[in-house]
């Protein structure tokens, strides 16, 4: 990170995923984030930064004006860490893509995120696959979608939503939503016998611009 900070060229993409930098290493990444003027895409995928590391990076992102894509996937981030990331979105209007998949943020974590995304940030793509949000988490997401006007791609795969979570989301999508284009609900044990979601999704085609809804898988 020290070398990159001193580098005179313009680095726009930085992938340091799968390097086990932990929360200690994330401190140095955070310092680089504060000073870079060119970075657009940063991946910390599977780096075991945890909640403490997520907080350090999130705080740095408040000062950054260039990074539009951030990958926090698979970092053992819980509700504490994602709450810090959510707070960043209140101040950061540059970030448009956020990857949080494979983190056990749970219902509390997704609630913190959704409370902010209702009326803040410019996020267009949000990936929350394998985040253990459950049915109650789906309720928070559904409520968020009634108000959010920027999200176009939402990944909720493998979150244990089941039929109840799917129905909850289907009902929220009856509210006019001009931004959502893609919703991935694969691997959520949504039963074939329960056609409420499919029928509702198809029925709202005239009310919202969602062009891809995946339920199977």
**Per-residue pLDDT reduced to its tens digit, 142-165:** 999 999 999 999 999 999 999 999
Sorted by where each begins, the domain ranges of the chain are 1-214
**Per-residue pLDDT reduced to its tens digit, 77-94:** 999 999 999 999 999 999
pLDDT band of residue 207 (cuts 50, 70, 90) is very low
Please state, in angstroms and rounded to a whole number, the distance separating the CA atoms of residues 119 and 150: 9
Can you read off the two tokens belonging to residue 86?
Answer: 């959510």
Asked whether the beta carbons of 206 and 175 are under 8 A apart, the reply is no
Q: What DSSP string runs through 153-174?
A: EEE--SS--HHHHHHHHHHHTT
pLDDT band of residue 216 (cuts 50, 70, 90) is low
CATH number attached to the domain at 1-214: 3.80.10.10
Residue 111 has what pLDDT?
Answer: 98
**Per-residue pLDDT reduced to its tens digit, 160-180:** 999 999 989 988 887 767 889
pTM for this structure? 0.92
């Amino acid at each position: 990170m020290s070398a990159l900070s001193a580098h005179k060229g313009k680095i726009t993409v930085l992938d340091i995923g799968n390097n086990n930098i932990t929360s200690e290493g994330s401190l140095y990444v955070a310092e680089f984030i504060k000073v870079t003027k060119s970075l657009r895409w940063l991946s910390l995928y599977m780096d075991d930064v945890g909640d403490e590391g997520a907080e350090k990076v999130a705080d740095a992102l408040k000062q950054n004006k260039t990074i539009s894509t951030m990958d926090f996937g698979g970092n053992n981030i819980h509700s504490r860490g994602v709450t810090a990331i959510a707070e960043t979105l209140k101040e950061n209007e540059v970030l448009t893509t956020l990857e949080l998949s494979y983190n056990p943020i749970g219902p509390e974590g997704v609630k913190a995120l959704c409370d902010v995304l209702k009326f803040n940030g410019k996020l267009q793509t949000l990936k929350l696959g394998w985040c253990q949000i459950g049915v109650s988490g789906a309720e928070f997401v559904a409520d968020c979608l009634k108000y959010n006007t920027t999200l176009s791609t939402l990944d909720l795969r493998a979150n244990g939503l089941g039929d109840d979570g799917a129905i909850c989301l289907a009902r929220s999508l009856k509210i006019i939503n001009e931004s959502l284009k893609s919703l991935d609900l694969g691997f959520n044990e949504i039963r074939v016998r329960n056609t409420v979601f499919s029928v509702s999704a198809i029925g709202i085609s005239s009310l919202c611009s969602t062009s891809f809804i995946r339920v199977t898988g």
